[in-house]
């Protein structure tokens, strides 16, 4: 297990997971820098570009008080030391972004799993997923986005859950078409309103009932945590 593998990280923090199967789980979030997918509703657009001018020291990442596009380089050893120095109690790690699957995440997952952590990756499904066998994979399929990337069948097959953001009926149609195209069955599917607006929430609820899917409502935004 390569302890010297490096990752460009925008943010590291401890909170509760607010979405999907692990809702309410104390978690350490590792937010990676870089994403070419281009989702119009993305709430982390500050993670899209990897500008060398925005590289900062590690302590500036840990002490962030607001969202911005600065990032720092960490090895796995340095991440382990950081978890200890910050006194993190959570034993579940959420690897997000950005698009985390632009990176080889297998060393990260395997090293922390060996220490008793569980790992989860949240991905758009547009890059090959390189994680450990135990890692929980959340695919939030991004269809027809500005970047022009296709959702990969291999990503959908690897997914432990599919979490689809919706605001319109077209988003529901896109998901159904994607599942049919790749013959994806027997997957745990969550529908998540893109916003907290009544119309999107009602669409999500109705779609879950009609299709026997599950609802994810971004609990962290309702209770006011990161």
Going by the annotation, the residues of the binding site are 16-18, 31, 35, 39, 41-44, 96, 98, 140-142
Phi, psi of 121 (to 5 degrees): -120, 140
Annotated binding-site ranges for Mg(2+):
44
For residues 159 and 187, the answer to whether their CB atoms sit within 8 Å is: yes
Annotated binding-site ranges for substrate:
16-18, 31, 96
Annotated binding-site ranges for [4Fe-4S] cluster:
35, 39, 42
* Order of strands across the sheet that contains 26-32: 72-75, 6-16, 26-32, 92-96, 118-123, 136-139, 161-166, 188-193, 214-215
Annotated binding-site ranges for S-adenosyl-L-methionine:
41-43, 98, 140-142
- Here the tokens at position 136 are 């929980």
Beta strands in the chain (DSSP E): 6-16, 26-32, 72-75, 92-96, 118-123, 136-139, 161-166, 188-193, 214-215
For residues 7 and 73, the answer to whether their CB atoms sit within 8 Å is: yes
Instruction: From residue 218, give the alpha-carbon distance in Å to each of 9, 35, 224.
Output: 23, 21, 10
The number of beta carbons lying within 10 Å of the beta carbon of residue 2 is 13
């Amino acid at each position: 297990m390569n302890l010297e593998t490096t990752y460009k990280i925008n943010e590291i923090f401890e909170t509760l997971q607010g979405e999907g199967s692990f809702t309410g789980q104390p978690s350490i979030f590792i937010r990676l820098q870089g994403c070419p997918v281009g989702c119009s509703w993305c709430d982390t657009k500050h993670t899209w570009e990897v500008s060398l001018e925005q590289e900062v020291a590690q302590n500036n990442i840990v002490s962030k008080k607001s969202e911005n596009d600065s990032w720092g380089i960490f090895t796995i050893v340095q991440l382990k030391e950081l978890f200890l120095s910050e006194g993190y109690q959570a034993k579940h790690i959420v690897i997000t972004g950005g698009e985390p699957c632009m990176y080889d995440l297998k060393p990260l997952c395997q090293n922390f799993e060996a220490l008793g952590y569980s790992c989860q990756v949240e991905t758009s499904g547009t890059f090959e997923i390189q994680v450990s066998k135990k890692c929980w994979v959340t695919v939030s399929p991004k269809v027809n986005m500005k970047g022009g990337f296709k959702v990969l069948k291999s990503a959908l097959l690897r997914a432990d859950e599919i979490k689809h953001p919706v605001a319109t009926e077209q988003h529901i149609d896109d998901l159904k078409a994607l599942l049919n195209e790749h013959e994806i069955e027997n997957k745990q599917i969550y529908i998540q309103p893109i916003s907290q607006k009544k119309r999107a929430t009602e669409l999500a609820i109705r779609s879950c009932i009609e299709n026997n899917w599950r609802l994810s409502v971004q609990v962290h935004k309702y209770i006011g945590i990161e």
